[in-house]
């Protein structure tokens, strides 16, 4: 009789693993993840993990350094700290890890990956706290994604960081924006990254929007799957690109608030309360 290990399917063929690798490669190809820039966490159900791994076989335990009591027992596929997105497709087992959370969030049990002795992203506080926060408003949330797209980053040097103004500007840059992120974009001032403090602040901002800009650093997106979250950041970054192309020119036309309202009504979305003057 085969033992459990022999019977397990190869996790590299798991649909979520394939999708994670494709997404990371795509993000790299978009120029959003230079060097080790950016990180992704994907929440998984036990039933998605158990066909591939012996879930009682913990490779090692790693302290997280923060509390996330609502996430105990949850599984996450997470990019490794210091790892390059461009390398994930060539060596997923080194650059990714699959962890399970316990001890009120204070311990991560490694079940697969980080095979060179590495560990999860330094931004795990922002990721896990954001997961916990998004799950309170959307039980289907599974993804938190962070990256450094050039135009959104550039915008934080030249545009007001007021969330309403920042959101309105992006909505005005492409017709689809208000449809894709009707909840708007929240903005944090520059803060030291990799800390519990920026994690708490990001999670708080995630209560009211799925996009959170880290000024002079990058952006966080949250969503129900990798594709949707990628698309969310992609749309905001496209809008920021238009802004950076036109901000220094004389603006002759724009999308009016009345037109934004028409779009919201047509596509059945509710724009962030108080953000439109109509
Ligand atoms: P990690 O390499 O620890 O994931 O950090 C990258 C990053 O973007 C920090 O904000
Ligand atoms: Zn970063």
- What pLDDT is stored for residue 130 in this prediction? 98
Based on the structure, what is the number of domains in the chain? 2
| pLDDT tens by residue, 21-64 | 999 999 999 999 999 999 999 999 999 999 999 999 999 999 99
- What pLDDT is stored for residue 276 in this prediction? 98
Are 145 and 236 contacting, i.e. CB atoms less than 8 angstroms apart? no
Give 97 Cα–ligand 2 centroid separation in angstroms.
18
Among 86, 121, 156, the domain boundary falls at: 121
Among 106, 121, 136, the domain boundary falls at: 121
103: left (phi over 0), alpha (psi -120 to 50) or beta: left
Residues of the chain predicted below pLDDT 70: 1-7
Give kind and range of the element (H or E) at residue 218.
Answer: strand 218-223
CATH number at residue 252: 3.40.225.10
Task: Mark whether 28 and 155 lie in a shared domain.
Answer: no
Task: Mark whether 146 and 223 lie in a shared domain.
Answer: yes
From 35, 81, 87, mutation site for ligand 1 pocket: most ligand atoms within 8 A of C-beta: 81
Write out the residue range of the structural domain in which residue 45 sits. 1-121
Task: Mark whether 184 and 238 lie in a shared domain.
Answer: yes
Candidate list 34, 48, 109, 123, residue with the active-site label: 123
Q: Chain centroid to CA 267: how far?
A: 24
Among 58, 86, 121, the domain boundary falls at: 121
Which residues 6+ apart lie within 8 Å of 95 measured at CB?
Answer: 79, 80, 83, 84, 87, 88, 113
Task: Mark whether 94 and 135 lie in a shared domain.
Answer: no
- What pLDDT is stored for residue 8 in this prediction? 81
> Does pTM surpass 0.75?
yes
Task: Mark whether 267 and 138 lie in a shared domain.
Answer: yes
- What pLDDT is stored for residue 191 in this prediction? 98
CA gap 79, 38 in Å, rounded: 9
């Amino acid at each position: 009789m085969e033992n459990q290990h022999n019977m397990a399917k190869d996790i590299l063929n798991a649909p979520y693993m394939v999708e994670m690798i494709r997404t990371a490669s795509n993000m790299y190809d978009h120029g959003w993840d230079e060097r080790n820039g950016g990180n992704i966490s994907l929440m998984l159900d036990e039933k998605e993990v158990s066909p591939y791994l012996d879930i009682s076989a913990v490779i090692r335990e790693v302290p997280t350094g923060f509390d996330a009591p609502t996430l105990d027992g949850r599984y996450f596929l997470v990019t490794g700290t210091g790892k390059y997105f461009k390398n994930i497709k060539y060596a997923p087992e080194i650059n990714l890890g699959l962890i399970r959370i316990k001890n009120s969030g204070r311990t991560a049990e490694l079940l697969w990956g980080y095979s060179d002795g590495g560990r999860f992203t330094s931004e795990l506080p922002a990721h896990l706290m954001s997961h916990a926060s998004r799950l309170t408003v959307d039980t289907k949330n599974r993804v938190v994604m962070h990256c450094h797209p050039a135009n959104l980053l550039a915008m934080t040097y030249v545009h007001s960081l007021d969330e309403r103004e920042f959101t309105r500007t992006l909505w005005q840059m492409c017709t689809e924006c208000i449809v894709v992120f009707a909840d708007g974009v929240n903005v944090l001032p520059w803060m030291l990254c990799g800390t519990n403090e920026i994690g708490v602040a990001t999670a708080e901002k995630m209560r009211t929007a799925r996009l959170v800009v880290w000024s002079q650093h990058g952006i966080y997106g949250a969503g129900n799957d990798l594709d949707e979250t990628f698309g969310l950041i992609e749309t905001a970054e496209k809008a920021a690109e238009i802004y950076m192309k036109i901000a220094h020119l004389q603006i002759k036309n724009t999308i009016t608030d009345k037109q934004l309202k028409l779009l919201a009504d047509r596509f059945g979305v509710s724009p962030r309360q108080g953000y439109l003057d109509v």
